[in-house]
Amino acid sequence: MERVISKVTFDLAQTSLRQVNHFLHRELNSETPKITLLNPDGAHNLAVGLDATIDVEIMGHTGYYTASMNKQATITIFGNAGTGVAENMMSGRVHVKGFASVSAGASAHGGLLVIDGDASLRCGISLKGADIVVGGSVGSFSAFMAQAGRIVICGNAGDALGDSLYEAVIYIRGQIKSLGADAQIEPMMEADYQTVGELLAQAGLSYQPQDFKRVASARQLYHWNADADQEY
């Protein structure tokens, strides 16, 4: 018989953030059920640094660095997220049901970040291997210095998309206000369509991969060029 596990619920209107994070960091074990956090009220540093295969539901808007340094956990935010959601994530899944503020997924090494709405400036800045799927649009300088990983943007992008891009790849469905230094549009190959289709499916989005463009690095900034006179 399948064992039924009830959820553990914390109400942040009654329980301190310190107590909640102490439980998440010190009292989890293989029997720990799903965790639900009520009334986050924009609290910062919620569910930071988790290292367990658990589900965490946050029922409301959150502040800075929610789910940063995540490892293994599945964290769902039923609201908007402040600066640096899933920053430096290592693995697992973070899903923002609303909008995300600046630097979403910054320096993330692994795992999947899904944002149903728009993401603000510098989404995926210095990305190091994670996947990011944005159901809406992204702000300027998204994927700045992104080194590895994949970003799927279902809406539009602001200025300087992919500025100083390394080996990360961006797939965008909408309009690009401008490309950053060394970023270029490249032909979509069959492997790209498959990648976009898989990531859209993981994010629960139904767009067609054939509607996306590929943005990648032209690789002109890999080595210093004294003759370029800072013009790229």
The pair phi, psi for residue 151, each rounded to 5°, is -125, 125
CB 135 within 8 A of CB 99: no
CB 67 within 8 A of CB 83: no
Domain extents for the chain? Answer: 38-222
Which amino acid is it at 164?
S
H-type alpha helices, the chain:
17-26, 190-203
The pair phi, psi for residue 190, each rounded to 5°, is -60, -40
Q: Which two tokens stand for residue 14?
A: 């009654």
CB 102 within 8 A of CB 120: yes
Q: Distance between CA 52 and CA 161 in Å, rounded?
A: 34
Region of residue 27 (left: phi > 0; alpha: psi -120 to 50; beta: else): alpha
3-state secondary structure of 138: strand
Question: What tens-digit pLDDT sequence spans the chain (232 residues)?
Answer: 344 455 799 999 999 999 999 999 888 766 777 899 999 999 999 999 999 999 999 999 999 999 999 999 999 999 999 999 999 999 999 999 999 999 999 999 999 999 999 999 999 999 999 999 999 999 999 999 999 999 999 999 999 999 999 999 999 999 999 999 999 999 999 999 999 999 999 999 999 999 999 999 999 887 766 666 656 5
- CATH number listed for the domain at residues 38-222: 2.160.20.60
